[in-house]
A and B are shown apart, each in its own frame.
Chain A
Amino acid sequence: MRRLIHRPEAGGAISALLVFAFFAILAGHNGFLSLLGTAYWLDTASELGIIAIPVGMLMIGGEFDLSVGAVVGATSMIVAICSGSYELPGWLGFSLAVVFGAGVGLANGLIVVKTKLPSFIVTLSTMLMVTGSILGVSIGLTGSSSISAIPNDFLGVLVAFKWHEFHISILYWVLFGAAAIYVMERTSFGNWVYATGGNVVTARLAGVPTDRVKVILFILSSLGAVLVGTIETYAFQNGSITLGAQYVFSGIAACVIGGVLLTGGYGSLLGTAFGATTYGIVSLGVFFLGWNADLTELFIGALLLLAVISNNRLRTFALGR
C-alpha cells in the first residue's frame, strides 16, 4: 500500500476517483452516470488526454510547450482552408498540418537547445508567431479567420467517427497513451527522457543525446496538437484560429494533477491520463449539477494547487527523507 501511494500516478488516480464519486453521488440522478453523460466526459478527457501525452513527456524531459494551443488553432485553419476553401482532399490538408506542426516542434526544440533559453519564453514566442502567421495567411487567402472544413475523404471517418456519442478520439487516446507509456517505461528513449529532465548535465555526461531527446519531444508535442486540432475541426466542420487555446493551461494542469513534477525528471503518463480524466469529469460535472460554470475553474484550480503540494511531498517521500 505504502509503495502504491508512492507511485507518481497515485495523486492523479485519487483525484479522478474522488471527483467521479463526488459527481456520481450528487449528479448521478441527473444523467451524469448515463451512457451519454459518460461519453461527454470521456470525449472531453480524451481530447485533452491526447494533448497531455506528449506534453507530459516533454515536462518529464524538463521543458514546457506553450505553443500547443496555437498549433491546434493553426492545424484547424490549415485543414479547413485546404478542404473548405480549396476543396483539396482531407488527407492533404492533414499532411500539410503534420509538416507544419513538426516544423513548429523542430523550431521550438532547436531554439531551446541552441540558445539554452527557458522553453517557457521560447514557446511563448512561437505561440504568438504561429497564430499571427496563420491568421495573416488565412485572412490573405480567404478574408476570414474562421472557415468551414468539409470532410471529403477517409480522413473524415478516421477522425470524426463516433459510436453513440463516444468519439473515436477516445480510441486514439488509449492507443497513443499505451504506446507512450511503453516508450517511457520500457525503452531506452524513455530512460533518456527521465534522465534529461532529472538533470541535463548528468544525462549528457552519461552519454544521453539530450539535445536530440528534447527536439524529438518538442516535435511530438506539436504533433499531438495537430491530431487534436484535426479531430476537433472535423467534429464540427469548422476551422477556427482560436480553437484549442485552452490547452496551453489545461494540458499542463492535467500533467501536474497526474503527478508530473514541474521541475521535470519525475512523473508518469498514466498519471497524466488520470489528470485529463479528472479535468473531463469536473468540467462536465458542474453542468450536470446546473452549477455556475465558473466553478469548473475553481475546482481545477484547487485540484492543481493540491496536486503541486502533494507532488512535492510525494517526491520527498519517494526519496525517503
Chain B
Amino acid sequence: MKFITKSQGGIPLARKIALGAASMGLAAVMGSVLPALADDPQITIAFVSGPLNDSFFPPLYQGAQDAAALLGAKLNYIPIDEADIEASSARTMQAAIAMKPDVIVVGDFITGVVDPLIKQAVAAGIPVFVNQSGQDQWEADGALGFIGQQGPEVGIVAAERLTKAGSKNILCVINVPGNPYLQAICKGLAEKAKELGVTSANLELPTADSTDQGKVSRDIGAYLQAHGDVDGIFTENAAVGTAAVAAVEAAQVADKVKIGTMEVSKVALQQIRDGKLLFLVNEQPYLDGYYGVMFAYNYAKYGLAPVGAVSTGPSVVDKSNVDKISAVFDKYKNVIGSN
C-alpha cells in the first residue's frame, strides 16, 4: 500500500470516506473522451490508481491524461478509495475488467488483493501493465511490464547521499506506522548505512500526529533532544521533511544535521535552494502516468512493449538541479508535484 504513505497518511476512517467519495466523483467527470484517429478504432485504457486527494497522485493523473490526449486514446482513470483500501482495490480492478478495455494499467498497492485480479484480467485476454507499485509481483502475475520504482532503492540512495554529506547517525522517519512500503525504504537505508559503516535508527510517528506538521516537528525535535548524536534525517513525505527542517532549526542544530526527504513540494524546493534541505527523492509520478498510458497504447496498437521493469525513480533533486526543476514546477501545474 504505497500510496497511503504519500502526502499525509493516517486520515481517520470517516474522513477518508469523504475524501475518497469526493475524488471518485471528480475523477468520473474527468475521464476524458477524445476523438479517435482517422480510421483505427479508438484504444481504451483503464487506469486504476490512487485518489487525487492524495497530493502524490495529481501529477500521475496529469501524466496519464497528457499521454492519452497526445495519442488519442480513451482514458478511464479509476481512483482507489484510500479509506477502504483493500475492498476498494478489488472493486476498482473488477470494474476495470468489466469495462473490457484494450489494456489495464494498475497500481498494485495491495498485492494480496490485486494479484489474483491481474491474473483474472490476463486470463480474460486483457493485457495488464503494473504501475508505480508491485515491482516484485508483476512478472509472476503475467503482467506485460512494470513502470515505477523499487522501495529499497530509495533508502539506498538516501543513505549514500547523507553519508557523503558527513552524517554518521541517520534517523529514518516513518510517518505511517506499520506501512510496509515506508518500512522497506527505511530498511534499505539501514542496510546501506551499515555497509557504509554508519548507524541508523527508525522513528515511527503516531498515526494521530501524521496530519499535523507542527506536532510532527515537535516530535522530531523531542527525539533530537534526547538523541544528540543524530546528524542526518531522512523523511518519507514532503510535509514531514518540512517539519524536520523546522525541528532542526528550532533546536539550533541546522549546521550539524543534514536532511533529505521524499516527494517534491514547493516548500521543499525552496529549502533545497536555501541549503536547509540536502536533497529530495523525486519519484516522478508524472512519468508513471505518462509511460503507463504510452506503453499500454503501444502494446494495444502495435504489440510493442519495453522489456523488463522501467524505473521512474529514484531521481534525486539537490542544489545542482533544483533551479531547473523549480522552473518546471512553477510553469506546469501538476507535473513535478502538486503543492
Contacts and interface: CB of A to CB of B under 8 A. Distances in A.
Interface of A: 27, 30-32, 34, 36-37, 40-41, 43-44, 47, 69-70, 73, 124, 127-129, 131-133, 135-136, 139-140, 143-148, 165, 167, 232, 235-238, 240-246, 248-250, 283-285, 287-290, 292-294, 296-297
A235 B218 CA distance: 12
A258 to B, nearest CB: 18
30 contacts: A30-B225, A34-B225, A36-B250, A40-B221, A43-B218, A69-B12, A127-B18, A128-B15, A132-B21, A135-B19, A135-B23, A136-B26, A143-B62, A145-B19, A146-B339, A148-B267, A167-B214, A235-B213, A240-B8, A240-B239, A242-B211, A246-B12, A246-B209, A246-B212, A284-B219, A284-B222, A293-B204, A293-B205, A293-B206, A296-B206
B256 interface: no
Given A294-B177, A297-B206, A143 B225 contact: no
Contacts of A32: 222, 225
B65 to A, nearest CB: 11
Contacts of A143: 52, 58, 62, 333-334, 338
Nearest to A164: B250
Contacts of B301: none
A47 B53 contact: no
B52 to A, nearest CB: 6
A242 B205 CA distance: 16
Chain A interface, DSSP helix/strand/loop, else mixed: helix
A86 to B, nearest CB: 14
Contacts of B215: 44, 283
B33 interface: no
Size class of B's contact patch? 35 or more
Given A143-B58, A143-B338, A145-B52, A294 B204 contact: yes
B167 to A, nearest CB: 19
Contacts of B99: none
A27 B251 contact: no
Contacts of A243: 211-213
Nearest to B30: A139
A127 B339 contact: no
Contacts, number: 188
A159 to B, nearest CB: 12
Given A41-B218, A238-B242, 18 more contacts: A127-B15, A127-B18, A128-B21, A131-B18, A132-B19, A135-B19, A135-B22, A136-B26, A145-B19, A236-B213, A236-B242, A238-B213, A240-B7, A242-B11, A243-B213, A245-B211, A287-B222, A296-B206
